[in-house]
A and B are shown apart, each in its own frame.
Chain A
Amino acid sequence: MSDDQDKQAKSNIKVTRRCLLTGGVGVATGTAATLVAGLGAEGAAAGPLDRPWATELGDPVGTNPYGHPSSFEKTVIRRPTPTEYSPKGYVPPMNESSWTGTPLQDLRGIITPNGLFYERSHGGYADMDPANHKVVIHGLVDRNLELSMEDLRRFPTVTTFRFLECSGNSDLIWGKATYGGQETSPYLTAQDIHGLLSCAEWTGVRLSDLLREAGADTVRAKWLIVEGADSGALARSLPMARALDDCILAFAQNGEMLRPEQGYPVRLLVPGCEGNLNIKWVQRIEVTDQPLFATFETGLYTDLQKSGKAWISSLVMEAKSIITFPSGGQSLPEKGFYQVRGIAWSGRGRISHVDVSLDGGRNWTQAQLTEPVMSKCLTEFTMPWRWDGSETLIMSRATDETGYTQPFVQQIVEARGKFSEYHNNGIQTWRVESNGEVYNAQG
């Protein structure tokens, strides 16, 4: 067998293996079909010592200098909200001002892999040369400072675990008829509804250290206007109290430099606060005694109330949780034991309790929290469950260290009105049908 033939045969074996393991059918070509038949005996039906991966060498070390997941995990990717299950007019007209969600239902633990961290941009994402990037601090300061990335990385660093969530996350379940009278689709997954949520380990420098270096007048100055270098120079007003508390300019995420989608080479991190405030590609910080009232804190990201007035400066992301297994789009193969699992988080601090209901919210059982439980960070919870095969409404409810407990979506809609849209931290209900299929039951 020539090298080429050998390569061809190997790649066919790989295709075959995948088909057998995932049960994929219907697309096999003549050649592949023959191989499937031929390999049946020595592949799937063979003993553990006779399988191709047991008898042949695997790919050489170094085949993938920057590794990637197994080919069997290729469906675990970021996705935009599917237009076929979205209300009319929900998906933005251009992908340069759009989003993709994290596949929460396929992940474990609390850290989002960098390639799966949710994306939200208003002018596409830039990939800029750090050698040409500067961060300028000016305004109510003793000296206007210009910092190169090299300068910035010489400051003392801190590393923290924090979630990021878009304030528009979960708006698809704001309430029935919010979007043009359409019912919310039962086919929506955790990713579709709640995917604008991710969590990472961030490394960067304290904003307070940078302000000290510039000699900021932190008595007169109550605000920082933080601006990105992307198309649109997205700017927001950051309260000085938060800047001095726990904000950082982050340049690393989960051990490696930020991805371009996350604002490479440097972004603002405002722990516990809505994603839009966490300016990416930070290029300028103006220290001022007044807020900017920028477009993204007036015309957008403000919460219209029933009264016709709108909340401004709704920065905090309140306590919230979702069950990721079992969740929309998944299915339980048979009755019996399963581990219910999910994630909980609060912009006000640590999660203290998560409760799970299996009867539509009437009765609740406290779930187990997986250590570590960190402030303004995702916390994993689990609960053992023996499914008896009957239709089940399953939901979770988080309580944070301030004593605040996650409400029902219906309470939020009742309080704020049908068109408030942002900051929906209500309870998500999934319906497990008697055939094991799981659907969104939150309208």
Chain B
Amino acid sequence: MRRGNLIFWAILSLMAPGLAVAQTPDCNDRPLCLGRTITEADLAVWSLNVFPDGTGLSDGMGNAEEGRQLFRDKCSACHGEKGVGLKVLLDRGAFPTLVGSTPPLTDTEEWPAKTVGSYWPYPTTFFDYVRRAMPFATAHSLSDNEVYAITAHILVLNDILPAGATLDRDSLMQVTMPNVDGFICDARPDVFAPRCMSNCAVPDDAGVLIGSGESYGKPVPITDCMVLK
């Protein structure tokens, strides 16, 4: 594309030198003048990012009932018709579970269910992910309306939206996910043992205290932590 432009400018400059020079990008405004500047219109084809405040959400709308059909046709082969995941190979794990909230996130015996409904903090994350990455192996094959419809269907299956709900930009932004307050900043170093060299405590010692992050006192950079705008 760049080369094409160069040829274009070269031909144009033969025809109308003054015009070509005038329209050649002026690079006095940046350090190295490498690459080419592009317009907002050029960027339209790239706009996949959807943020929790709704920035990047597309026009269009979709209904959960349409979503159910789409999900059955395009997603259920891996995620199962009910969205609870499907195991296809005997000695391997299942595809991700999208629906359900048991065992709860605080369970101490079995793996807690970390699904879209029980775990994901924002509905925009689901829209963003389906639009950029799903269906697995045929990414970018869904229309924006279809992404809205599938999002509605999954939120219905998770009892977050009523049956038959329709989603568009405004109604998606009205959705509050159950686990919206479930995330906190990385608290490491949360465990810290001093550098003991002899007669040290080991984990099997009864009742032994072997340190905590508080005794270390050097938290991770707070600038790492994602917080809502």
From known contacts A294-B129, A364-B196, infer whether A313 and B225 are also in contact, taking CB-CB under 8 Å. Answer: yes
Would you give the shortest CB distance from A89 to chain B, in whole angstroms? 4
Interface presence of A416 (CB below 8 A): yes
Interface presence of A33 (CB below 8 A): no
- For the complex, give the distance between the alpha carbons of A166 and B189 in Å: 18
Interface segment out of the listed A11-19, A59-67, A282-290, A383-391? A282-290
Q: Is the CB of B218 within 8 A of A404?
A: yes
Convert B1-35 into 0s and 1s, putting 1 for each residue whose CB lies closer than 8 angstroms to a CB of A: 11000000000000000000000000001111011
The residue in chain B whose Cβ has the minimal distance to the Cβ of A136 is B46
- For the complex, give the distance between the alpha carbons of A66 and B38 in Å: 40
Q: Is the CB of B92 within 8 A of A311?
A: no
Contact partner, B210, options A227, A313, A411, Cβ 8 Å: A411
Contact partner, B224, options A136, A232, A316, Cβ 8 Å: A316
Q: Is the CB of B226 within 8 A of A291?
A: yes
Interface presence of A93 (CB below 8 A): yes
Contact residue range for chain A? 35 or more
How many B residues touch A, CB cutoff 8 Å?
Answer: 90
Interface presence of A79 (CB below 8 A): no
| Most B C-beta atoms less than 10 A away, residue of A241, A411, A417 | A411
Interface presence of A51 (CB below 8 A): no
Interface presence of A171 (CB below 8 A): no
The residue in chain B whose Cβ has the minimal distance to the Cβ of A138 is B43
Contact partner, B128, options A292, A318, A415, Cβ 8 Å: A292
Q: Which B residues are in CB contact (< 8 Å) with A74?
A: none
Interface presence of A52 (CB below 8 A): no
Residues of A whose CB lies within 8 Å of any CB of B are 83, 89-94, 96-97, 122-123, 134, 136, 138, 142-148, 150-152, 154-155, 180, 209, 212-215, 222, 225, 227, 231-235, 237, 239-242, 284, 286, 288-295, 297-299, 302-316, 318, 353, 355, 360-364, 366, 397, 399, 402-405, 407-408, 410-412, 414-419, 423
The 5 residue pairs across chains A and B that have the minimum distance between CB atoms: A232-B133, A410-B203, A308-B106, A291-B226, A147-B35
**28 CB < 8 A contacts A-B:** A93-B92, A94-B136, A96-B137, A144-B37, A144-B43, A180-B111, A212-B30, A231-B133, A231-B139, A232-B132, A239-B223, A241-B221, A293-B122, A299-B120, A304-B114, A309-B182, A310-B184, A311-B183, A313-B185, A314-B186, A355-B197, A403-B216, A404-B218, A405-B193, A407-B210, A411-B203, A415-B191, A418-B108
Contacts A146-B37, A316-B186, A363-B197 aside, 11 further interface pairs with beta carbons under 8 A come to A89-B92, A93-B92, A231-B137, A289-B229, A298-B122, A308-B106, A310-B182, A310-B183, A362-B200, A404-B189, A415-B212
